Amino acid sequence: MNHPPEVTRAFGYPFDPPGHGFLFVAGRALPFLTDGNDPLIDATVEIDGAVMSAAEALHRLGADGAAAPVRTPVVGYGSNASPQRLLEKYGDGAETVIPVLRCRLHDHDVVYATHIATYGSLPAGLARSSGTVAHVSVSLLTDSQLEIMHASEGDNYRFARLEALVEADGMGTVADAAAYITAHGVYGYAGEPVALARVAADNRRFTAREQEDMLMELCRQLDTGEDLHTFILRVVGDDARRRSLVMAMRERALDHGL
């Protein structure tokens, strides 16, 4: 079925984050093939069919000097693990270099938040879930990159250290990992959190559903009298209406336990 582009984008969340780590540089996502002591130096990546060290790849793309003395590990559990969204937020300049590591987040699950994005999707949030291990990412952000990320998340999230075990592929425990925590609870119309079907998790306790199904349910629960396509198009095109619907959603928000 052909959808309007706005609807296709809304259904696309979280925009296909890969199931592997990658080095985001000059707008490209170079897959990590092997782990090293430093993902910007001796890890190996693939670029245009060739395998080389991360340092060599950065040199080839004109991104020498990308190393920063301090980077903050930030858990990405929704679209922030997507190269598409990183490109939209940071552009394709060679000055933007972000290692993105595949990780496992213990005793949490990735669930639907209680707001609607400007592009019409129901974004992700985190909720405590004993025994669940969510497959997420960790982006290592410089201070300037972190400022950009803060601005993109707005007031729907608060930034905080995450009190949880985060393990990176090939690198062990990630110390002092932070995350964007939903500031107004999580989706509540189902009576308990609802997990994102497109985010893998082991020992998942919550029901997992696709984005399109959730948007259909939300449209019905808010009783707008519209079909789903019209609902999404009006949400995308009218910020005041979207904010009004979000306030109605928050009346049924659930505590995420964070």
Distance separating the N- and C-terminal Cα atoms of the chain: 39
pLDDT at 68: 65
Q: Is the pLDDT of residue 36 over 90?
A: no
What's the mean pLDDT in 208-233?
A: 94
In terms of Cα–Cα distance, which of 90, 87, 146, 156 is closest to 122? Answer: 156
pTM of the model as a whole: 0.94
Burial class (CB in 10 A: 0-12, 13-18, 19+), 2: exposed
| Cα gap 100→141, rounded to integer Å | 9
Q: Give the DSSP per-residue string, 22-73.
A: EEEETTEEEEEEE--S-TTTTSEEEETTEEEEHHHHHHHTT-TT---S--EE
pLDDT at 224: 85
Query: Six-digit token pair at 22?
Result: 């990658």
pLDDT at 66: 66
As a whole number of angstroms, the longest Cα–Cα distance in the chain is: 57
pLDDT at 145: 95
What's the mean pLDDT in 73-102?
A: 94
- Within 61-205, residue ranges assigned H as helices are 83-90, 143-153
**What tens digit of pLDDT does each residue of 103-159 get?**
999 999 999 999 999 999 999 999 999 999 999 999 999 999 999 999 999 899 999
Other C-beta atoms closer than 10 Å to the C-beta of 41 total: 14
Where do the domains of the chain lie, and which CATH numbers do they carry?
5-250 (3.10.490.10)
- Within 63-222, residue ranges assigned H as helices are 83-90, 143-153, 211-221
Backbone angles phi, psi at 8, to 5 degrees: -60, -45
| Cα gap 76→166, rounded to integer Å | 11
Query: Six-digit token pair at 114?
Result: 């209680």
pLDDT at 170: 74
What's the mean pLDDT in 31-49?
A: 90
The alpha carbon of residue 12 and the mean position of all alpha carbons in its chain are separated, in whole angstroms, by 13
Confidence of residue 65 (pLDDT cuts 50, 70, 90): low
What's the mean pLDDT in 81-90?
A: 95
DSSP-based three-state secondary structure for 128? strand
